[in-house]
Amino acid sequence: MDYESAYPTIGQLAQQPNAAQAIVNYLHDHFASYSWVGLYWVEGSDLVLGEWNGPEATEHTRIAIGTGVCGAAAASGRTEIVGDVSRDSRYLACFSSTKSEIVVPIFADGSVIGEIDIDASALNAFGAEDQRFLERVAAVLAGVRTSTSTARAARR
């Protein structure tokens, strides 16, 4: 799947009910190296696992900001690309098959509200193109998340 043709589809999926899950499913199903795709959402000082798609559930359903590769990206607000997880001391292991990982923060109003976490079973699966593409997807997910929480607040 090429990034430029995927992006408009992601924009369309963002209009659907359960948009965040639909986007996660799309990334998982259309990018061969994206073995496990999950979204973590900030709750206080933690990241809490939300929508995900992959062969296995992860035991890391709550990660303190600052812990692991996920927590590092949330703390710094910067995308993390780990080409070889076995050589990164921050890495929290989820799946024995994972060799590389990318974590992309999701921002709203200048703050990190969540992140996209993708695991791959090949070394060095993620590069600058994945980063650029997934940072655009993160901006779409920010819109999805803030519109659903606004809708939720309005119903209260």
Residues found near ligand SME in the complex (CB under 6 A): 38, 58, 60, 63, 68-71, 91-92, 94, 101, 117, 119
* Least Å from the CB of residue 5 to ligand SME: 27
- In the bound state with ligand SME, the residue whose beta carbon lies nearer, of 9 and 97, is 97
Rounded Cα gap, residues 57 and 29, in angstroms:
16
* Least Å from the CB of residue 81 to ligand SME: 12
- Paired strand residues for 103: 80, 117
H or E stretch at 154: helix 128-155
Taking residue 70's Cβ as centre, other Cβ atoms within 10 Å add up to: 27
Q: Judge residue 71's burial from the number of C-beta atoms within 10 Å of its C-beta, 0-12 exposed, 13-18 middle, 19 or more buried.
A: buried
* Least Å from the CB of residue 92 to ligand SME: 4
- In the bound state with ligand SME, the residue whose beta carbon lies nearer, of 61 and 146, is 61
* Least Å from the CB of residue 59 to ligand SME: 9
- In the bound state with ligand SME, the residue whose beta carbon lies nearer, of 16 and 86, is 86
* Least Å from the CB of residue 34 to ligand SME: 12
Nearest 5 degrees, angle CA 76-CA 89-CA 68? 45
Starting at the edge strand found earlier in the chain, the sheet holding 46-53 runs 62-64, 46-53, 36-43, 111-120, 100-108, 80-82
- In the bound state with ligand SME, the residue whose beta carbon lies nearer, of 58 and 146, is 58
Q: Which residue is nearest to ligand SME (CB)?
A: 68
105 neighbors 77 (Cβ within 8 angstroms): yes
- In the bound state with ligand SME, the residue whose beta carbon lies nearer, of 55 and 127, is 55
